[in-house]
Amino acid sequence: MSDEVKKPESAVGQPCAECNRRRFAKVGLGAIAVAGAGSAVFGYEFLSPNVLYEPSPIVDAGKPDLYPADSVTPDPQNGIYIVHGAQGIYTLSAVCTHLGCLTAWKPELGIIACPCHGSKFHIDGVRFDGPAPRPLPWLKTWVDDDGNLLVDRSEPLEKKQFVRI
Ligand code: FES
């Protein structure tokens, strides 16, 4: 006979039943929390409106005296030309009416040319060469109360209009 104290058979190597329940409850609650958080995120995405925010079509071109007489000022970032001609200031769209490429001002030739398929335009927007079906549109241009030149790129004009300064 030895002096060794023997544990009861059922307790040897067996985790207690209470510990099993607690561990199961923790894992279960963790899984429910993860699933709930995922559902909340997807629910928010689903319910939030699908809206695209575009930049304003109105361009603030600054003071009119930035544009000296007989000048063409390209603004490729906004896709416009500000032209100060003999009758005043006007704005042309720089987007080619053929397939929408951005045209370029060629000061050495005094014309606007499209690099894509070779359309060419006079500085009043009239096409004289290439496949473009229409002239470059004139855009609504005006001076606001603070004396700044504003251009509305979303409003092509039917008739030529000049800002006289
Ligand atoms: S896009 Fe300008 S000529 Fe074709």
How do the pLDDT tens digits run along the chain, 165 residues long?
445 555 555 455 566 777 788 888 889 999 999 999 999 998 888 888 888 888 899 999 999 999 999 999 999 999 999 999 999 999 999 999 999 999 999 999 999 999 999 999 999 999 999 999 999 999 999 999 999 999 999 989 989 999 998
Nearest atom in ligand 1 to 114's CA? 2
pLDDT for position 136: 97
Q: How far is CA 94 from CA 12, 44, 120, in A?
A: 86, 41, 12
What is the DSSP track for 59-81? EE---GGGS-TTEEEEETTTTEE
Domains identified in the chain, total number: 2
Domain membership of residue 36 as a residue range: 9-47
For residue 83, give the 3-state DSSP assignment. Answer: strand
Are 80 and 117 within one domain?
Answer: yes
Answer yes or no: are the C-beta atoms of 93 and 80 closer than 8 Å.
yes
Global confidence as pTM: 0.71
Task: Please report, for the domain that includes residue 116, its CATH number.
Answer: 2.102.10.10
Residue of 103, 116, 120, 134 best suited for mutating to test ligand 1, as the one with most atoms within 8 Å of CB:
116
Q: Please give the Cα distance from 128 to 146 (Å, whole number).
A: 38
Nearest atom in ligand 1 to 132's CA? 3
Query: Does residue 130's CB lie within 6 angstroms of at least one atom of ligand 1?
Result: yes
Residue showing tokens 């279960």: 28
The residues with which 138 forms a beta bridge, in sequence order, are 92
